[in-house]
Structure 1
Amino acid sequence: MQIDDNLLDLAERLQTDRQSHQQLLRLQRVMQTQVDELPQLQGIFIFDSQGLWLITSSDNVLKNANNADREYFKYHQNYDANTLYISKVIRSRSTGDLIIPISRRFNNPDGSFAGVIMAALYLDYFHQFYDSFALNTDASLNLLMADGTILYRHPYALTSIGKNISQTILLFREILPHSEFGNATISSPYDKVERIYGYSRVKRYPLVITAGLSKRDVLADWRNDAYMFAMGGFSLLVILLVMGLVLLRQIKHSVQTEAELMRTRDQLTTINQMLEELALIDSLTGLANRRQFDIALKNELTRAARNYRSVALLMLDMDYFKQYNDIYGHVAGDQCLQQIGQTLKGLARRSNDIMARYGGEEMGIILPDTDAQGVLFFAERIIDAVRELKIPHQGNPHDIVTISIGIYTKVPHRYNDTPISFIDLADHALYQAKRQGKNGIYSS
């Protein structure tokens, strides 16, 4: 989810940079850029540890406004988990719009609670999105929290927003605990319409989506035909004919019903795939993110140990990056990381080579089936390619942006070598490359 990546990036900036007036102004420009790229966002807000407004993406800070009473603020204040929190629908204090708050906690250097970053998602975005589907009158689409609280329902009904249906709907009481996705026939507690639903729990986020067609619409033609045939049964011949026609109609409508359910399931699968893909991409650089990097490294080490093949791990870091941000600003720093990310993508030659943003300005590269000589040649290509970008950097003795690379290559042992040990050794090699004067390579 791109919003999650944006909030995580902002939290890292707040925790590593000084919260001076100048730094907050730079951060506000980054927030405004993120909101401009996502029209579904009303805005992004940052609150301090007392709930007071620090900055907003629109630079409209309400005087004396305090959000310490909000559900999401209390959650992050009481729980130090580094997780995304999705709240119930609330009404915005700045605009009066109905919004879905999506938030993350950020900490002081000592790990104590420093405040909350919140992205406000327009509820009306879902209204417009769901209205774009060509649906029957009694069709229903729902976005719910994992505890059964309604975030949005189509057809739209304001009274249903925020209601918890976990105790009244069979789906939450008996079906979801045993099946993450599937089909079910359920009667709505709001309009009493019986519908055939396709449902799915969203991976990695506490959300459930459902899509339902009314059973009446699905079987309307079949019922009309059955009634007509029943009224016309005066003789055995007519009765036999009617029975044959009814049977054919039943078969036809059973196939149609199954096709409708398959289409609904395919829509849910497509949405899930889109969410999964977004959750594995770093929104700034377009490279794989930390989550995809961790998954890929674990899988490649397992495969390499089984087949007795070598794996090369490169950790690379931009030299004097803090000075670059101090001189040119965070926006320029982001643009620099984007150029380096695009350069790395252009150097990848195999589909299973993983180029990832590991965190901040640090990037990681996984090269399966690559020996020490091959990875050293590849690392030299990276060093040369970044130099050829000739990105100006007054804080670097070379006057341009350069990078340092640490390499660890090995045929992993199934039990002794883990992703953590590989990363630690590659990071140690990167540290040695930095100690030897930067702008170079060190292989351990």
Structure 2
Amino acid sequence: MTKRLQDAHALHGPDRPRKGSEGARAGTPVCPHAQTCGACQHVNEPYAAQLARKDARVAELFGGFEDAELRPILGMDDPFRYRNKVVSPYAPGKKLPGAAPGGRAEKGKGSRGDRAREARGRRTAGRARHEILCGMYAAHSHRIVPTDGCLVENEQAKQVILAIRSLMPRFGIEPYREDAHSGFLRHAVVRVGHTSGEMLVTLVTNGREFPGSRAFCRELARRCPGITTVVQNVNERQTNVILGEREQVLYGPGFILDQLCGLSFRISSQSFYQVNAVQTEVLYRQAVELARFSGTERAVDAYCGTGTIGLVAAKHGAAQVVGVDSVASAIRDARENARHNGVENARFVVGDAGAFMREAAAGGEQVDVVLMDPPRAGSSEEFLESLAACAPARAVYISCNPETQARDVRQLERRGYRLRTLQPVDMFPHTDHIETVALLEREGGR
């Protein structure tokens, strides 16, 4: 373990817990589902111990990089209720005594049989055939663990999940039965704006036809006044993937707004947006700080997604930012976010980030800083070669998987870069996941 980490443990270890960890040692709620749910492996452990274990894991992975500064992990002041996105499946449980057949047609495609089933659903509205299960899946299974309360989920979002369950019998909505590919409501996804408090509800259905949807949405919004929009997403495939490709807005504008690092972002049902807004701000501010923008640098935001980190960089010191991503819908959102915030020194293009940098290098275009946030699998060798060919003075590598990040850092060190600083951030308290920001500098500058 590096001296810096040893000093950090002396300061923040069990005798002197990190800020925010006292509550996890005594007097905090205990999760009754910890052994069955599987989502939070360490929720009933002291938070200081969790952070120490993550620091030790980072030291194990990166301790061999010569002269690299390994900073102590940045934890949360309050590591509970941090998830601003809550997802729940709905499935039938035990059959209720005296239950009659009925409920929303499983496909809703308008056939005679479908219409008959819908008529039965209207006649039996208010009477459930089975108990309706919602919550989280048990680890490595599709068995639902009922969780009417959760220590990491946003409380308002959780109330929406429960309100939907209570309204389903009244509106004749049958939960999805996975083995038979029948029933109507598969999942609900609730997203909450951290600063705005606006709530987007996505109802994932096994069919498009949704009779009574306007009345359902009105009643849901009456019970949960924070709801500003409801979207129906249609997924008729037999798949583990939650969202389908078709959707329609049932209520409100179809998106919510939230603020991050002084910028406003538009969040739709399919937008990628970090689930822990508090720590996302910490993460992005660390990345911008490590990039050391002085107002003159041209930056490339690789794997830019909807443009969050690139726009933050453009607003906080970069002279120009070019965001590149292969997903066209993400680039559309990024451009809209730039327009919405009045950011004129950032542009976003659809394409392969590696190819973009190879072309920039071949054309003699200067790139001073590369910001990169690849998926869990890390970067490809081709991308890392392109980065080296582009020869930026600094690369800031954000990762949700320090194992693949360490592999990629070794590749970049063989191409003339050195790891200078590594900053872990606890984006997902009570789990094994660690987010890290690495600063790499090109030896000898340009």
Q: Which is bigger in relative contact order (C-alpha 8 A, separation at least 6)?
A: 2
State the TM-score, normalized to the length of structure 2. 0.29
State the TM-score, normalized to the length of structure 1. 0.29
Work out which of the two has the higher radius of gyration on C-alpha atoms and give 1 or 2: 1
